[in-house]
Chains A and B, each alone.
Chain A
Amino acid sequence: MAAILLQAADWLFVIDNMGLLLGGTVVTIALTVASILLGFVVGFPAGAIEVYGSDRARRVVEQIGVVLRGTPLLVIIMILYFGLSISSSAFVTATIALGLRSAAYQSQIFRGALQSVDDGQLEAARAVAMSRFEAIRHVVVPQALRRSVPGFQNEFTIVLKDTSIAIVIGIGELLTTGQNLYEGGQSTAALEIFLAVSLVYFVLTFATNRSLDRLSDYYAVPEGTT
């Protein structure tokens, strides 16, 4: 059975079209990196506001977060592109949609990490005459960032694979490029193409998670009581 499905000719077809798949991969990577960065730039302050902000600021941020996390990504993209037409560039629109949705999730990663740092750390920093902002910046945030790596690895993986939804506004990223190769009956290599595409996703995920582990180890400090 497997032998029939995984035919040598079909693998040759995949190899012949490797250039196209790599092109799709580049789009996927670009979209992921841009979205994760936007998500960090917006999500980190949002998480900090949820922990340290005034009641009012906190409520506003929380409510926006609930809406973003509760709306399907597909709907967010469609609203931004066809409804609000925030940009004529599909790539920019997809980045904003993925980035804002990621910000809503990243804010929760950072909120949890900031809250996990013992209150005594902030108090000790205040006692050496740091302002609240300085104390958070120099003492709490460096510890919180270290603790947010596992959650961040998850978030990266999710955004990476969710980039495929960008097809609804016409972006040919990795999965779509693969799909286009066999659709319309040009080839019978559907399974082989999907396996190849999955392999690329796996390599990207694996490499990124490993890099983040390395980064985490590099900045690691011994754990225990302080």
Chain B
Amino acid sequence: MTQPLLSIDDLHKSYGSEEVLEGVGLEMDQGDVTVLIGPSGSGKSTLLRCVNRLTEINSGRIALDGQDVTGAETDVNELRKQVGMVFQDFNLFAHLTALENVTLGPKKVLGMDAADAEAAGRNHLEQVGLLEQADSYPAELSGGQKQRVGIARALAMDPELLLFDEPTSALDPELVGEVVEVMRDLADEGITMLVVSHEMDFARSAASDIVFLDDGEIVEHGPPEQLFQNPTADRTEQFLSRLHAHEETA
């Protein structure tokens, strides 16, 4: 078989004496949509940030397309061209319009000329349903719109893998749907996505794999129907029932 797009092996990460990831292993094939769930502080976001090296690991191995991600000789900027990221707090460039947010990377990093970058940028904004807001600044957009621009910005680099770090957690409940819808479209298009999210709606309908992380280790890993219907570990079951209780009250 072909090699996996992303493979993570025995990953360890500590902050001081606090071990956040205790030997995590994970593989993703092209087109996979893997959703990481788990309690706050379980290491989900840290795991995600290790993949594009916003966080440096202590030991273990991460490979993208067979290329070592964490080696000293790896060019981190070359790696990040292949790995897009969508942030919980959007982090749109405040001084740039939606379109400029999307075109900055292609222009400055990929060396695209302005006209090409703009044309491509408009396509990406259209893809997330925001072509009309192309000239709006981040502060003029709703949370859901901001996050959709954030997704378009990541797509504009044409990455092999998209990372989503709790993309809907900072949103008002009524704005979650529009972001989830865009993410589901991307999943349908076959974009490989590693997603930290408790958005069960998305996890059930778009994920190929669910990974339950607790206390820095992977407790359970499986397709959504299996993991949600018949979790094998007690910890998974407890976590899911808390999550359901919360969903029903929300």
Binding site for B on A (CB under 8 A): 118, 120-121, 123-131, 134, 138-139, 142-143, 146, 221-226
Contacts and interface: CB of A to CB of B under 8 A. Distances in A.
B179 interface: no
Nearest to B107: A138
B91 A124 contact: yes
B94 A143 contact: yes
A222 B140 contact: yes
A139 B157 contact: no
Given A129-B80, A225-B90, A226-B138, 15 more contacts: A120-B91, A121-B91, A128-B105, A129-B78, A130-B108, A139-B104, A143-B94, A221-B94, A224-B138, A224-B140, A225-B138, A225-B146, A226-B93, A226-B94, A226-B139
Contacts of B140: 222, 224
Interface residues of B, number: 29
Given A120-B87, A120-B91, A134-B109, A128 B139 contact: no
A117 to B, nearest CB: 8
Contacts of B85: 124, 127
Contacts of A126: 54, 80
Interface in B89-136: 89-96, 104-105, 108-109
B59 interface: no
A125 B94 CA distance: 12
27 contacts: A120-B87, A123-B91, A124-B92, A124-B153, A125-B93, A126-B54, A127-B52, A127-B80, A127-B84, A127-B154, A128-B80, A128-B105, A128-B109, A128-B157, A129-B157, A139-B95, A139-B104, A143-B95, A221-B94, A221-B137, A222-B140, A224-B138, A224-B139, A225-B138, A225-B146, A226-B92, A226-B138
